[in-house]
Amino acid sequence: MLNKEVSKVQAISPLSIKERTGTINIAEIISVLKGEITGLHIKQAFSIEAADEITANFTGNPGLKERTDGVPGQYIGASHYRKDASTYFAEAQEARPFVDAVFGNLLDPVRGVFDGLKRHLHSQGIELRLAQSEQGQANVCRALCWSGTGTYDLEPHDDVAQLLYGGNDCEISAVANNIVAALNFYPSMPKEGGNLRIWSHKPTVADRKSQGLETTGYPYSTAYLEPIPFYDLHLKAGDIALIDGGYVHGVTRHSINDKRRLLLNCFFGFAQPDLVLWWT
Ligand SMILES: O=C(O)CCC(=O)C(=O)O
Ligand SMILES: [Fe+2]
């Protein structure tokens, strides 16, 4: 007999994927924020020289830490996942010099997207800013290497549930009512595997509850995802992926003997009709 938790039919939400080579543009970013594009993959979006320098700066960074929150990986920066606002913002503040050091003397390409989007939204009467609290301000990005040892480097999850963990004292929790855009830059990628897999499913609060993932959105089981179609973004160093983080997504396994899989990640979305917040 089927397990009660996975016996109901998961709603299929169609994916709208766009893949091309070039430079990311503001219209596409807005399309993701509006829910018109689920996954945007820009190939060769930033230079290999910048990618290599970021990778070298990550490897030698004194702020590089092992994650201890149940998600296997190494990181520089702060993750709000499973943290209250004061802990998250204090950690972000502390990690700032190390995040800056990831870019060294480079023009920071993540900051470039932030600045471009900020200018555009400003002209529409919408403010874009880093999320903040009395303890400090979010960083523009965090740098991460996943180290899962099962089927996935990073288990299937959504990026919305985690906004509800810290309660309402955190201003980013309001974004959970809207689209949470996840912006990823890939400075180093293995030859095989490490795909960003997006499932055709955007879990509701009730879906998450049925899986016991109300405030984490991590990890969705193989049984739960089994009937759902998915699409893999095959990423290379220098690529950018921008996805609707409300859809279940994860990272396929890559060989340990291959190159490091390094990403720079951040999230943004509407907290109010005239306010877009950005955090990590
Ligand atoms: O590593 C990736 O490609 C995806 C990262 C991700 O989903 C996350 O940080 O929430
Ligand atoms: Fe994610």
Query: What structural domains does the chain harbor?
Result: 4-279 (2.60.120.620)
Verify whether ligand 1 is closer than 6 Å to residue 159 (CB atom): yes
Quote the tokens at residue 273: 């009709």
Q: Which residue in this structure is represented by tokens 């959105």?
A: 217
Average pLDDT over residues 203-215: 96
| Residue of 265, 266, 279 to mutate, ligand 1, most atoms within 8 A of C-beta | 265
Q: What percent of the chain has pLDDT over 90?
A: 89
| Residue of 81, 146, 184 to mutate, ligand 1, most atoms within 8 A of C-beta | 184
pLDDT of residue 7: 53
* pLDDT tens digits, one per residue of 235-270: 999 999 999 999 999 999 998 788 999 999 999 999
Average pLDDT over residues 24-46: 98
80 Cα: distance to centroid of ligand 1 (angstroms): 14
Q: Is the four-CA dihedral 30, 39, 211, 66 of positive or negative sign?
A: negative
Residue 1 has pLDDT above 50, yes or no: no
pLDDT of residue 5: 52
Q: Residue type at 84?
A: D
Residue 220 has pLDDT above 50, yes or no: yes
Range of lowest pLDDT (4-18, 41-55, 117-131, 253-267): 4-18
Is 0.85 topped by the overall pTM? yes
pLDDT of residue 257: 83
pLDDT of residue 258: 85
Residue 2 has pLDDT above 70, yes or no: no
Verify whether ligand 1 is closer than 6 Å to residue 242 (CB atom): no
pLDDT of residue 23: 97
- Residue 169 pLDDT class (50, 70, 90 cuts): confident
- Residue whose CA is at the smallest distance from ligand 1 atom 6: 250
